[in-house]
Amino acid sequence: MRVGVDHSLYQLRNMVERCFNTMKNARRVATRYDKIAESFLGFIDITSILLWVRHLST
């Protein structure tokens, strides 16, 4: 039996997954060198900003 798929929700999910995969390319995020949660989340913020700026420049 087939289940209906919400295409707009699927597109958003795909975009979020691609964003996380791109952030994992940063070795520091993938291996979690930071021992404190705040510094890890801070580096994720920095990586997100860099991705956003790179996206805006293209």
Domain-by-domain residue ranges, the chain? 7-57
- Report the distance separating Cα 49 and Cα 19, nearest Å: 12
- Can you give the pLDDT at residue 25? 80
Task: Kindly report the backbone phi and psi dihedral angles of residue 36, in degrees, each rounded to the nearest multiple of 5, phi listed first.
Answer: -100, 135
Tens-digit pLDDT profile for the chain (58 aa)?
788 888 999 999 998 898 888 888 877 777 777 778 888 888 888 888 888 898 888 7
**44 and 23 Cβ atoms separated by less than 8 Å:** yes
Q: Given this model, what pLDDT does residue 11 score?
A: 92
pLDDT at residue 9 in the model: 92
pLDDT of residue 34: 74
Residues 22/14, Cβ–Cβ less than 8 Å: no
